[in-house]
Amino acid sequence: MDSVRDLAQRLPAGMRDVLPDEMGELRALSDALRRTFVEAGYGEVWTPALEFEEVLRAGDPHAAGASYKLFDEHGRVLALRSDMTIPIARLAATRLAGQTPPLRLCYFAHAYRAGPVRADHPHEFLQAGIELLGLDAPEGEAEVIALTLAALRCAGLERHRVGVGDATLMPSLLRTLGIDDELRKRVLDALRRRDLVAVERLAGGIPDRDAGELLVRAANARGGPEVLAPIAELVPESVRRLARLHELLAASGDAERVILDLGLRREFAYYTGIVFEIYDPAVGFALGGGGRYDELVSRFGRQLSGCGVALDVQRVHVAQAAEEGWTGAAREVGGTPRGGTRGAADRQFSAQGPLP
């Protein structure tokens, strides 16, 4: 058995320490994001790290399954939250039930996800996010995406992009193409893992060769509104949503940072429409993501549509350092120019892995 001294030399799997230099930079980054959210009318909220497991499971069974669990003094199962969207949906249906929508909320909080130990999936991570409840599509998505892009600009990023898809597009396309339930499930799982090689292999087993080739093209389709044309008649509702959202973002001047990604899938099952992920070409991982969840709040007793996004603060922090011209951006948010103490933060991140 390990001694206390031995255990003190390491941390539980998936956890990490943050030292003063890095903590100062993370605080400055959080302040820049918070300032942008609050100035746009989003009020900051805080929810407990612990929720009843049944509440998380009602929101999404995967969210409950990904959590650390313990018992309270009455024997009820508690779980550390694995994301903030479900707790805020609960909050909107209960404590905020008397407030007239739309509700604009923001948060800065840690989330926890158990599972296999991997460098790119730590078990504790800091999220910064916004939730817009009661404003329907596509205006809700346009506001959330535009504000997210603006917040990242205020944090010093210059090259960030947003990939936009639709949670119903691929399931609808697979049904339209006549793909059986088992194969459809396997394809969707491969898309969720971003495993396009697996998608192509699975498509090769479809008897209708044309259907298989169309599936592969759609899964790989990324670009502007032109990528919608080949599937417009097959999944008209998804195409209409994506096209209309792109029009709104073009009108606000944000479309140049938008990439339509027809194969995009998000991890949680509560998404009902538009989904998106935030990228920066300076780093090889997503900085965050979100989407529309029109059925989630109703699971806690209130009919209210919703759309939101969560940013991984640690990943945004690393993207700051990786971008060209970071020095000037760092001064804007009170950070430390690269080549100073920021290098220590980069090394610690590399050693302990990025956050999801």
Tell me the C-alpha to C-alpha distance, in Å, between residue 83 and each of 24, 100, 125, 267, 356. Answer: 24, 25, 10, 11, 11
Q: In this structure, what are the phi and psi dihedrals at residue 290, rounded to the nearest 5 degrees?
A: 180, -155
- For the annotated binding site for L-histidine, the residues are 83-85, 113, 127, 131, 266, 270-271
- Give which of 306, 308, 300, 269 is closest to 55, Cα–Cα: 300
Tell me the C-alpha to C-alpha distance, in Å, between residue 168 and each of 80, 174, 200, 265, 310. Answer: 29, 10, 20, 9, 20
What is the distance of C-alpha 13 from the center of its chain?
23
Number of Cβ atoms within 10 Å of the Cβ of 304: 21
- For the annotated binding site, the residues are 83-85, 113, 127, 131, 266, 270-271
User: What are the start-end ranges of the E strands in 36-118?
Assistant: 43-44, 50-52, 69-71, 77-80, 103-112
| Cis ω for the linkage preceding 230 (within 30 of 0) | no
Could you tell me the two tokens for 71? 């018992």
Three-class SS of residue 279? Answer: strand
Dihedral (CA of 253, 256, 258, 262) sign: positive
Q: In this structure, what are the phi and psi dihedrals at residue 98, rounded to the nearest 5 degrees?
A: -85, -5
Buried b (16+ CB within 10 A) or exposed e, 215-233: bbebbebeeeeebbeebee
Three-class SS of residue 130? Answer: strand
